Amino acid sequence: MVEEPMEDAVESAFTQVPSKDHWFQYSIAPDDFDAEKVWKVIQRFRTLLGGDSWQCPFCGVFFKGHHATKATFHLSKSVGGGIKGCIGRMPTWLVESFKEAIRQKDQIKNMRKQITLKQNDHALSSIRVQASVIEEGQKRSSNSALASSSKKVQRTMHDTSRAAASTQLSVALCELVFAHGLSDAIPGSNAMKRVLKLAREAPSTYVPPDKDAVRGKYLDQNCSLRETRALKLVRDHSEIYGCSLLSDGATIHGCSLVNILAGIPISLPPVMEIVDCTDHLASGGSKDSLFLTTEMIPVAERIGSRNVYLYILDGTSNERSSGEMLEEKYPWTTLLHGSEHVLSLAVGKVCKIPEFAELVEEHGEMYSWFTHHQKPSAIFQKYAKQFNRGTGRKITIMRA
């Protein structure tokens, strides 16, 4: 539970800590700074009624108790720890130092957990040996006390087996992530929880789909399901807030596409349509303004054209002309052009000037030398770490 701020009168019962201005005079962590000593940064108090409290020097909020872990989470601006992150302005190096302290504590917890799991495996082996001995004795004797003891051992072995099976399942999930280069957030995601829930209900004869089925009918089903969800999400919120449509052309592995997204205030822009222009271009057509407008109008109508108030298009000539057509058809809308593409093209032309081109080429050679050769890369990282006061933060060369 998040600690609630205290507004009672307090008096200091501990050594005064430096003010927040003291920490802003450093651009990186001082050599004598230790993020685990959080009370060197935060002022602790003892209330007049005898209770303990502390105050964040950056946001000025008081909190009850003296909880070093909660104080560390607060200064790291992280989610968790049963406390809100600091909303005040802090030096970046200070925030990162407390985040690193939290990560190190989590690593220690994980190591202790692994040790405990190994001890559980050893205990499980011992219980199995004891169970076999009791079972042999049960065959030779009908003693009720011995039978009762065997049942207790069997229950213990069953519980331990379930714990061991849970551990093996966690290891298997991690192996799946590592083997296929997946995100480490997958095992704890809602999608994985749904998979495990359905797996419990599936029959023992269930066979997972092969790769052809995954990239075939199941991919089509998933695409259709997501399109339906995206359309419903946009419709529901556009009736209240309105929405915008974003369009941009793209060529991926030689395939000419037009991407159409919807902008709503409660989520990232969902994809409404990805138009494959291959057949249109093969029949002699082009991605002109009429074609782009023809593809945008059905999307707007599915959402509800009266709820679309803004069109954001690329800065190219065909996109600008398409926007003018949409403004004429839907006069209540506003048209905006993205300038980053045009700016990128302009910078690309500037870099073709001989003096700039020579500079870019020299930078590319330096980048290639330090990144594509093992020995220069190792030397660079060694001295980069030294110049960064040995904090371990990785410094890389910016690519032109």
Instruction: Please state the φ and ψ torsions of residue 144, each to the nearest 5 degrees.
Output: -70, -35
Note the helical H segments in the chain.
20-24, 68-76, 92-140, 144-179, 190-201, 211-214, 217-241, 278-282, 289-303, 317-329, 340-350, 354-372, 374-387
Structural tokens at position 169: 């399942």
Contact 265, 241 (CB under 8 A): yes
Beta strands 308-314 and 334-338, pairing class? parallel
DSSP state at residue 15: P
Give the span between the Cα atoms of 156 and 135, in whole angstroms.
14
Helix axes 374-387, 354-372, angle to 10 degrees: 90
pLDDT along the chain (400 residues), means of 10: 46 70 81 79 74 85 85 85 86 86 82 70 63 59 51 59 79 88 88 89 89 90 90 90 88 89 89 91 89 92 91 82 90 84 80 88 84 84 72 62
Task: Give the pLDDT score at 330.
Answer: 92
Task: Give the pLDDT score at 346.
Answer: 81
Shortest CA distance to 91 belongs to which of 16, 8, 138, 23? 23
Neighbours of 230 (CB within 10 A): 19
Helix axes 289-303, 217-241, angle to 10 degrees: 70
- As annotated, the residues of the chain forming the CATH 3.30.420 domain(s) are 230-346
Contact 157, 128 (CB under 8 A): yes
Task: Give the pLDDT score at 136.
Answer: 63
The CATH label, of 3.30.1050, 3.40.720, 1.25.40, 3.30.420, for the domain at 230-346 is 3.30.420
> Quick one: 231 exposed, middle or buried, by C-beta within 10 A (0-12, 13-18, 19+)?
middle
Structural tokens at position 196: 């495990």
Contact 262, 221 (CB under 8 A): no
Provide the residue type at 287 as one letter. K
Q: Which residues contact 328 (CB under 8 A, 6 or more apart)?
A: none
Contact 259, 250 (CB under 8 A): yes
Angstrom distances, CA of residue 368 to CA of 152, 396, 398:
66, 12, 11
Task: Give the pLDDT score at 10.
Answer: 46
Beta strands 62-64 and 43-47, pairing class? unpaired
Provide the residue type at 228 as one letter. T
Contact 271, 230 (CB under 8 A): yes
Structural tokens at position 29: 């962590």
Helix axes 317-329, 289-303, angle to 10 degrees: 40
Give the span between the Cα atoms of 350 and 126, in whole angstroms.
74
